[in-house]
Homo-oligomer: A and B are copies of this chain.
């Protein structure tokens, strides 16, 4: 997930460095090469003995949802000693550290490394960005206490990409409301209350008419209110994987651009919407394409 965000940011014109561990074999080398191809700084990726984590995707259609078969157990990354990361050096020069909730879900070592990274960042002046991404299947494989770990990371975050369900899991409460918007508002309020460092919360809203036919919008909340994007109808989805990461990269791009929160959420949701039309996990859309999408430009062949 973090790699997707790194590639997304790199292609939008920002500098991104990936810190990770890969297997020292052809699969690991290929993964690193793909990141480098898209301009990501791979100098903080270690290559060590062991296996690469994998997953298999069966792409769904109509009433049949896509299915992910995780095969990440006992990977070189999952087994890597958390003490092996030198966060001081890795974070040098960074403005933001972005972490996804998928990563600590891989195992105890990964959990420890994520928490350590998050807690190292702020003293170094590096802001923390966190994407909830709670994956029950993964936490279950090693009986990890997902909510507790995510809570420690979220406590360090200045911005979080997280929906109501994940906040509820972390806060161990449920927020009832007459309508979804009110429920979202209450949940976000509780999150801001629980995590003093938190300045922004962003989340998409996804309605599913079919496995390949969704609707997508999103909202960005600060302690003083929420802005919302338009809603995109996504019929004939090509590949939905990575849309959340495209959203995170897009919102960050929008915020860095300094054009305000409305621009940031509009850019983030348009980036996420475009991702659904692109095969593979990476969002390859350019700033021009995303802004044309935001502007609702004509969709006939460009020639």
Residues of chain A at the chain B interface (Cβ within 8 Å): 25-27, 33-34, 36-39, 50-52, 54, 56, 58, 60-71, 73-74, 135, 137, 206, 208-214, 232-238, 240-241, 270, 273-274, 276-278, 285, 289, 293, 297-303
The smallest beta-carbon distance between A186 and chain B, in angstroms, is 22
The smallest beta-carbon distance between A187 and chain B, in angstroms, is 19
Tell me which of A62, A135, A293 has the highest count of chain B C-beta atoms within 10 A of its own C-beta: A62
Complex Cα distance, B62 from A236, in Å, reads 7
**A34-B37, A235-B235 as given contacts; A63 in contact with B25, CB under 8 Å:** no
Question: A278 — which chain B residues lie within 8 A by C-beta?
Answer: 64
Residue in B closest to A135 when the chains form the complex, CB atoms? B303
Question: A70 — which chain B residues lie within 8 A by C-beta?
Answer: 303
Complex Cα distance, B64 from A237, in Å, reads 11
The smallest beta-carbon distance between A164 and chain B, in angstroms, is 14
The smallest beta-carbon distance between A108 and chain B, in angstroms, is 15
Given contacts A63-B299, A137-B303, A209-B233, 12 further A-B contacts (CB under 8 A): A26-B56, A27-B56, A36-B37, A63-B273, A63-B293, A64-B293, A68-B302, A206-B300, A209-B299, A210-B235, A235-B236, A241-B301
Question: A235 — which chain B residues lie within 8 A by C-beta?
Answer: 62, 210, 213, 235-236
Contact, CB under 8 Å: B69 / A27: yes
A-B contact pairs, 20 of them (CB 8 A): A26-B56, A27-B56, A33-B37, A37-B37, A50-B73, A52-B71, A54-B54, A60-B277, A61-B277, A62-B236, A62-B238, A63-B293, A64-B278, A64-B285, A67-B302, A209-B233, A214-B300, A235-B236, A240-B300, A240-B301
The smallest beta-carbon distance between A157 and chain B, in angstroms, is 22
**A38-B33, A71-B51 as given contacts; A63 in contact with B301, CB under 8 Å:** no
Listed from nearest, the 8 A-B pairs whose CB atoms lie closest are A68-B303, A37-B37, A61-B277, A74-B74, A208-B299, A64-B277, A62-B277, A66-B301
Contact, CB under 8 Å: A62 / B303: no
Complex Cα distance, B5 from A178, in Å, reads 46
Complex Cα distance, B270 from A64, in Å, reads 10
Question: A208 — which chain B residues lie within 8 A by C-beta?
Answer: 298-300
- A236's partner among B50, B212, B302 (CB-CB below 8 A) is B212
Complex Cα distance, B83 from A178, in Å, reads 56
- A277's partner among B211, B274, B299, B301 (CB-CB below 8 A) is B211
The smallest beta-carbon distance between A67 and chain B, in angstroms, is 5
Contact, CB under 8 Å: B210 / A62: no
Complex Cα distance, B62 from A274, in Å, reads 8
